[in-house]
Structure 1
Amino acid sequence: MFVSVLISTYNWKDALALCVRSVFRQTVKPAEIVIADDGSRDDTREMIEELRQETDIPIVHVWHEDRGFRKTEILNKAIMKVSHPYIIQIDGDVVLDKHFIADHLELAEKDYFVCGSRVGVDPHQTERFFKTKGKFRPYFFQLTFMYMLNSFRSKWVRRYLEKRYFPKNIKRLRGCNMAFWKEDLLKVNGYNEDLTMWGQEDTEIAYRLIFAGVKKKFLKAGGVEYHLYHKPASRANLEFHNRVLDEVIAEHRSWCENGIVKGKKER
């Protein structure tokens, strides 16, 4: 199956390089890499040019001007540039286990989207990732209990839990580890661009997918990724984002008016 890896980034070129090179090392390679760049400086563009010289995987760089946190907008622009039917979405501050794409494709099924977990690493471990050019992996017992579970791989556990792990709890997901059919994203009009700054954009689109008839799978015991440590993003607009999410849930909305297409859905 032809799959695109969609990576969001903003002004952390060294983390992005680790992330993209971990895509290069996958046991199953994607057909393309699409980078959704929320206005990074020229050094990110230069890094992407270097990465293009290291691979035969096409790398598409989708950029817009830096006018503040506009992740939802750049993701929508990038989705429209995706060439293949299945999208695995990650953030540019994660390093992937070499089986990450293979594990995701195991669970790919029509009328489903997939959400996975992450393994958070501390500042010291993050430094080790950079020093080893992404080859470092923390030992199992160096992780907190929850992250131990998130670093574990088992095909039997993965397939057993895919539809059983918190099936009704949409809020237990991470936008840095999700997968969708492109046609399903278009069905709900992509990400809600009213959600500027950090928070709930991934949960909000997941609920709209559910209300559009797309079911959820949870990828546990596989799809392992390591999230590099950084200072938390500003939560300044989170109260508004929570209100938007509450309205989506209360009204069972599947379409957002400020998405890929601007305006109400044609009937």
Structure 2
Amino acid sequence: MRITVAIITYNWPAALERVLESLARQTRLPDEVIVTDDGSTGETRRVIERVAATFPVRLVHLWQPDDGARMSRARNRAIAAATGDYVIILDGDMVAEPHFVADHEAFATRGCYVQGSRVLSDEALTRRMLADGSVRASFFTPGIERRRHTLRIPSLARWYAKPSQKTRGIKSCNMGFWREDLLALNGFNEGMTGWGREDTEMVTRAFHAGLLRRDLRFSALATHLYHRTRKNVVDNPNDRILDETRRLGLVRCEFGVDQHLAEFFTPPLDERPASA
């Protein structure tokens, strides 16, 4: 199957460069990487141009104007533009372990989506990783939380991946979906802007549609680079949208990926030089 990795980014080009480097070193390369940009300045564009010169697979850069945090719209544009059968959704601050794509491929199952996990790095380790692309988090590396997520143990991963509809720990920083399932759900709900809940809302609709969840533990490892969080939002309007989705048993959102399919009927250009 063809695999697209869709990376969302916003004004952290140094982190994005490390993420792209990690994807270029995969034991199973993705077939395509799409960087979907929620309004970054020109420095992000320059990083992509520099990385594209030697990038081993098709590399696409989608940019939308900065009009507040529009993560749902940015991710939907990547889904619409994707040429892969399977879409791995990744944040632009998640540095992938070399087996990341291969592990996602191994656990891709019809009727399911895959929920990955992450290792949390502290500020000091993040500085080291940004300064030196060879630095990787391992079980004994100082400055990490959720240390168990550094361990790649395929036999344990298979045990944890039993299909369920568990709602705890839904995170769009590391997810895998069949593209046809994302289209059936109409992707992320673009009525949700600002921080949070858009991933939980989409998975809630996926469960209403009968999809199951496979948890990737001890597999598809990635290290989250430290930054300040905005998750403690008081009276988040996205919570009310999520509650309404649950109450009505919705499967499709009104404003979603279908708004962007015509734009990407012809796939966007590869950023790599013509000789790549």
TM-score where L is the length of structure 2: 0.89
Q: How much identity, in percent, do the aligned residues show?
A: 35
**CA deviation profile, 1:208-262 (whole Å, cap 9, x unmatched):** 1111122111101111100000111365476211111112122211111111236
1:103-122 alignment runs, 5 A limit: 103-122=103-122
Structure 2 equivalent of residue 147 of structure 1: 146
2-side partners of 1:180 and 1:171: how far apart? 18
1:12-161 alignment runs, 5 A limit: 12-140=12-140, 142=142, 147-161=146-160
- The secondary structure found in structure 1 opposite 2:68 is coil
Once the two structures are TM-superposed, the CA of residue 126 in structure 1 deviates from its matched residue by: 0.4
Cα distance change of structure 1 residues 234 and 168 upon mapping to structure 2, 3 Å threshold: closer
Q: Given that residues 38 and 69 in structure 1 are in contact (C-alpha distance below 8 angstroms), is that contact kept between their aligned partners in structure 2? A: yes
Instruction: Give the root-mean-square deviation of aligned CA atoms.
Output: 1.7
Structure 1 equivalent of residue 243 of structure 2: 246
1-side partners of 2:110 and 2:165: how far apart? 19
Letter in 2 for 1:53: A
Number of equivalences? 259
Cα distance change of structure 1 residues 123 and 249 upon mapping to structure 2, 3 Å threshold: same
2:186 pairs with 1:186 = no
- The secondary structure found in structure 2 opposite 1:185 is helix
2-side partners of 1:156 and 1:258: how far apart? 40
1-side partners of 2:139 and 2:242: how far apart? 37
Q: Given that residues 27 and 99 in structure 1 are in contact (C-alpha distance below 8 angstroms), is that contact kept between their aligned partners in structure 2? A: yes
Q: Given that residues 115 and 219 in structure 1 are in contact (C-alpha distance below 8 angstroms), is that contact kept between their aligned partners in structure 2? A: yes
- The secondary structure found in structure 1 opposite 2:202 is helix
Structure 2 equivalent of residue 232 of structure 1: 229
Letter in 2 for 1:11: N
More displaced stretch, 247-256 vs 115-124: 247-256
1-side partners of 2:10 and 2:143: how far apart? 27
Q: Which structure 2 residue ranges, 5 or more long, are not aligned?
A: 260-276
Q: Given that residues 139 and 148 in structure 2 are in contact (C-alpha distance below 8 angstroms), is that contact kept between their aligned partners in structure 1? A: no
Once the two structures are TM-superposed, the CA of residue 136 in structure 1 deviates from its matched residue by: 3.0
More displaced stretch, 153-162 vs 225-234: 225-234
Q: Given that residues 4 and 86 in structure 1 are in contact (C-alpha distance below 8 angstroms), is that contact kept between their aligned partners in structure 2? A: yes
Structure 2 equivalent of residue 162 of structure 1: 161
Q: Which structure 1 residue ranges, 5 or more long, are not aligned?
A: 263-267
Structure 1 equivalent of residue 257 of structure 2: 260
Once the two structures are TM-superposed, the CA of residue 139 in structure 1 deviates from its matched residue by: 4.0
- The secondary structure found in structure 1 opposite 2:36 is strand
